[in-house]
Structure 1
Amino acid sequence: MDIDAWVWWLIGAAGLGIPLVLTAMPEFGMFAVGALAASVTAALGVGVTGQVLVFTAVSVALIAVVRPIANRHRSQRPEFASGVDALRGRTAVVVERVDGTGGRIKLAGEIWSARTLDADASFEPGRQVDVVEIDGATAVVM
C-alpha cells in the first residue's frame, strides 16, 4: 500500500499535536501548523523539497511572530487585584465617626477600623468615603 506524502504530513501534524497537549509547549503547535501547510503543499503536487521548505518557513515564521507575543502576554501582571489591594479605591460607609485618630467603617461587608487621610478631616456615620489605602488593619479614607 502506497501512502501519499500529504497523508504522512497529516500524521506528522497529529504527532506534533500530542506533545503540544501533554507538555503545553506552544512550539509543538507551531510545528504542527507547519506540517499541515506542508500537507496542503503535497496535495497540490509540489515536490518533497518544496514541502520541506514550506514546513520550515511556516514553522519558523510562527515561532518568530507568535512566540514573542506569547512571552509578552505571559510576563504581564494580571489585571485583577486581590486581598487588601482589591480594597483600595472602594467606597465604604462610616459606622462610627472617623477622624485622624480613628473610627469605624463598613467596607466590603465587614467592619474595619479607619482613620482619615487628612488629620483635620472627620466623617460622620452614614457618610460614604473612599478607601485610599490599607495600613495594617486600618483603612485610610477620604
Structure 2
Amino acid sequence: MDLIQTIEQFAWIGWLVLILVFLVIEMLTLDFTFLMLSIGGVAGLGSDLVGAPLWLQVVIAAIVAAVLVLFLRPPLLKRLRRGEDPALSNIAALIGLAGQVTSTVSSTSGQVKLSNGDVWTARIDGSATLEPGMHVRVSRIDGATAFVTSRDLTSPDDPTHDATSHEETLP
C-alpha cells in the first residue's frame, strides 16, 4: 500500500482532529468563525465516508465553510448582539464627560463633580490650575483619578471653538 492510499484510507481521522481543534478554538474565541470551519470539516468528513477522493473532500469542506462564513455567520452575529446595550459603560462612559471643579485642580490634587453626579478626585496635566466653578471635560481616567481639561478656555483645535469670534476687523 503506498502513501497516497494510506492517507486517503485514514483521512477521516484527520477530519475528526481538525473538527475538534476548530471547536476548541471556537470555544475560546466565541465569534462563530471556527464553528463554521468545523462544520466545513464535518462536510469533508461526510464526503470521505461516502468515498470521495481526498482532493474533493478538501474542496467540499472549503466551499461549505466559505458559504457558512459569508452567509450564515453575519446574521447569527447580528441576532446574538441584538440585545446588547449600545451605551458605553464604566470608564468608557466617563471619557469626554463634562464637569465642574469643586476643589482647585492642579497636577497633584483636586476634585470635580461630573455631569452624571459623580464626584471624582481630579488632576490636570501640566502646571496650570483650575479654580472652583470652572467647567472641565474628562480626558482620561487613571485608577480612581479623572484627568481633566478646561472647557472655559477654547482653542482652535476644539470642535466647539467659534472661529468668527476671533476674526480681525479690516480697516
TM-score normalised by length of structure 1: 0.49
Greater relative contact order: 1 or 2 (C-alpha under 8 angstroms, separation 6 or more)?
1
Q: Structure 2-normalised TM-score?
A: 0.41
